[in-house]
Amino acid sequence: MKYLKNLFLILILLLIISCDSKPVHGKNGMVVSTSTQASKIGIDILKQGGNAVDAASAVGFALAVTSSSNGNIGGGGFMVGHFADGKTFTLDFREMAPSKAYKDIYLDDNNNVIEGKSLTTHFASGVPGSVDGLLKAWRDHGSGSIPLKQLLEPAINLANNGFKLSKYEANRFNKNKDFLSKHSATKLIFTRNDREWKEGDIFFQKDLAKTLTRIASKGRDGFYKGITAKLIVEEMKKVGGWITYQDLDNYLSKYREPIIGSFNDYNIISMGPPSSGGILIIQMLNMLDLLQTNLNPPLDLDFNSSDYIHLLTEIERRAYADRAEHLGDSDFWDVPKEILLSKSYAEDRIKSIDVSNATNSNDINHGLKMIKESEETTHYSIVDKDGNAVSVTTTINSGYGSGITINGAGFIMNNEMDDFSSKPGVPNLFGLVGNEANAIQPKKRPLSSMSPTIVLKNNKPFLVLGTPGGSTIITTVLQNILNVILHDMNIKEAVSSPRFHSQWLPDVLYYEEGSFSNKLILDLKTKGHDLKQRGNIGEANGIMINEKGFWGGADYRGENTAIGY
């Protein structure tokens, strides 16, 4: 009976994927995001003569209105761009710790972590970076044909005039009503006294519209100075001035050195520290490349075969162990990037892999314990008519961040300070444990798994990838790359196929409900793996580019939309 139930779930999953396995096609541009309104705004910017970066900035501001739990101007993220002329940039607009932050700020007098302080209080917030980052990208890499007012006007209109809630978004508000009711300004915007939200309700955000209007009028100074800055500082004075005028004025998004690697004649461009994603993706691809080249006889690397899952799990364990030990904000920590990205290091790491038996994670060196990050993040991918590609992942950390809305400004603040190590060796509410590489310091940026990535074929953009999913982001992007390159899937199939995840500690192989057959589970258990079923892993939004145009793949796991023209 259990076997039949398992088989039934697998068949249902395959039916869902097969019924909608065709990607969306476009000849002149493609936008894939978690919001229909935001994707349409991006396409409109492209139609008006903007390039992929113009569209990415407009989509970012639109998501702050239409996807309140993760889109934001109160948080931060990363952007990876590659242009048709070969130019590449990676922009870090991750939040920064305020000047009053210090290593033990979340510990009590007995040196114990204060539960919730880094998650649901004013002290949970880092200085937001999204506004600075989106504006810097537009200013430095935009087409020059889209003025700032035109960039923000669609988001302002959605906030001011309201938009119809989808069933998905209404349910999300209702599900989080208790949390959204804890702070008075948040409750006023996101909850109803008369009834629950319903699909089709018009959702207004008048204060957010005013904030976006100030940004449209004054640019960066419309957020980090003036009225908005005053409103942020006044809110933070409730706890003694956690974020100051100087903190806001000092915020700076930064261009980082791209992380670059190769696999099977494809080149990969991704984000460097404080993102851990780029380094781990390249490191894991290096290990897999060596294994598939050197194993004799070769193993079965068919999609989600027992050998394939086993090898990727062993690779992931070793990469995530290195993550916990070596990665942090490179402005504060000497990250050994060259070593971690080298083929010789990958060769050394795979020496301990047994192709038939799982390695006990406690026997793998490096690190303390894995970080379990919140999965409430959002990703969008964009390509314009000239083949310029942009990949953006952004977040306020957990769903609806700290839950604290800046009164009068209409946006929720992040709780990204929880991504630091509150105390080396001791987990916080999300299970975050780290070491000195990710310890709290003023102006430091917390380590992240966000992994916006672009894959090149013949030196031209071929795949634009990324996903939310906390610590599962990296393995999701890895599997999406392999789904296309190794398993010949189209982009819709690649982002919608069943996924699995392992991260060193806990010593567990996670798989999505209904995605593994009983026989596959038994095979993996025989190899020594401890398997646990869970819900969705990631929510990827990708684009594939070939001679026939642009192909958008929106993951079925969430309310995602691909629009091309």
Amino acid 54: pLDDT: 98
Distance (Å) of CA 310 to CA 175, 264, 394: 37, 21, 31
Q: Measured in Å, how far apart are the chain's first and last C-alpha atoms?
A: 48
Alpha carbon distance 94, 110 (integer Å): 31
Amino acid 437: pLDDT: 85
Secondary structure (DSSP) of 310-367:
HHHHHHHHHHHHHHHHH-S-TTTS---HHHHH-HHHHHHHGGG--SSSPPPGGGS-S-
Cβ atoms of residues 414 and 399 within 8 Å: no
Q: Residue 231 — φ and ψ, nearest 5°?
A: -65, -40
Amino acid 363: pLDDT: 72
Amino acid 427: pLDDT: 47
**373 pLDDT tier (thresholds 50, 70, 90):** low
Mean pLDDT of 37-44: 98
**296 pLDDT tier (thresholds 50, 70, 90):** confident
Q: Where are the alpha helices (DSSP H) in 191-336?
A: 206-218, 221-224, 226-236, 245-250, 277-294, 306-326
Alpha carbon distance 287, 58 (integer Å): 38
pLDDT in tens, 268-293: 999 999 999 999 999 999 999 999 88
Average the pLDDT over each of 74-78, 299-303, 388-392, 511-515 and give the range with the smallest value: 299-303
- pLDDT of residue 28 exceeding 60: yes
- List Cβ<8 Å contacts ≥24 apart for 493-496: 493/17, 493/21, 493/553, 494/540, 494/542, 494/553, 495/467, 495/540, 495/541, 495/542, 495/553, 495/554, 495/555, 496/16, 496/17, 496/20, 496/21, 496/553, 496/555, 496/556, 496/557
Residues 6+ apart with CB under 8 A from 354: 314
Amino acid 369: pLDDT: 42
Alpha carbon distance 227, 245 (integer Å): 11
pLDDT in tens, 124-139: 999 999 999 999 999 9
**506 pLDDT tier (thresholds 50, 70, 90):** confident
> Which residues are 202's β-sheet partners?
164
pLDDT in tens, 6-17: 444 444 444 444
359 catalytically annotated: no
Alpha carbon distance 270, 256 (integer Å): 10
Q: Positive or negative CA dihedral for 246, 441, 336, 76?
A: negative
Cβ atoms of residues 280 and 349 within 8 Å: no
Q: What 3-state DSSP class applies to 208?
A: helix
**300 pLDDT tier (thresholds 50, 70, 90):** confident
Max Cα separation, the chain?
A: 68
pLDDT in tens, 86-140: 999 999 999 999 999 999 999 999 999 999 999 999 999 999 999 999 999 999 9
pLDDT in tens, 452-500: 999 999 999 999 999 999 999 999 999 999 999 999 999 999 999 999 9
Q: What percentage of the chain exceeds 90 in pLDDT? A: 85
Amino acid 539: pLDDT: 96
CA angle 340, 345, 351 (to 5 degrees): 135
Exposure of 221 in the CB half-sphere (CA atoms within 13 A): 3
Alpha carbon distance 81, 27 (integer Å): 20
Q: Regarding beta strands 549-554 and 541-546, do their DSSP bridges make them parallel or antiparallel, or are they unpaired?
A: antiparallel
- pLDDT of residue 5 exceeding 60: no
Closest CA to 74 of 207, 167, 270, 176: 207
User: Per the residue annotation, which of 313, 377, 393, 561 is the catalytic one?
Assistant: 377
pLDDT in tens, 518-536: 999 999 999 999 999 999 9
Mean pLDDT of 183-201: 97
Mean pLDDT of 43-65: 98
- pLDDT of residue 335 exceeding 70: yes
Q: What 3-state DSSP class applies to 171?
A: helix
Q: Where are the alpha helices (DSSP H) in 78-165?
A: 130-141, 148-161
Closest CA to 214 of 305, 152, 282: 152
Alpha carbon distance 522, 512 (integer Å): 16
**423 pLDDT tier (thresholds 50, 70, 90):** confident
How far does CA 114 lie from the centroid of its chain? 27
**Domain 1-162+204-353+362-500 is classified in which CATH homologous superfamily?**
Gamma-glutamyltranspeptidase, small (S) subunit (3.60.20.40)
Amino acid 375: pLDDT: 67
**20 pLDDT tier (thresholds 50, 70, 90):** low
Q: What percentage of the chain exceeds 70 in pLDDT? A: 92
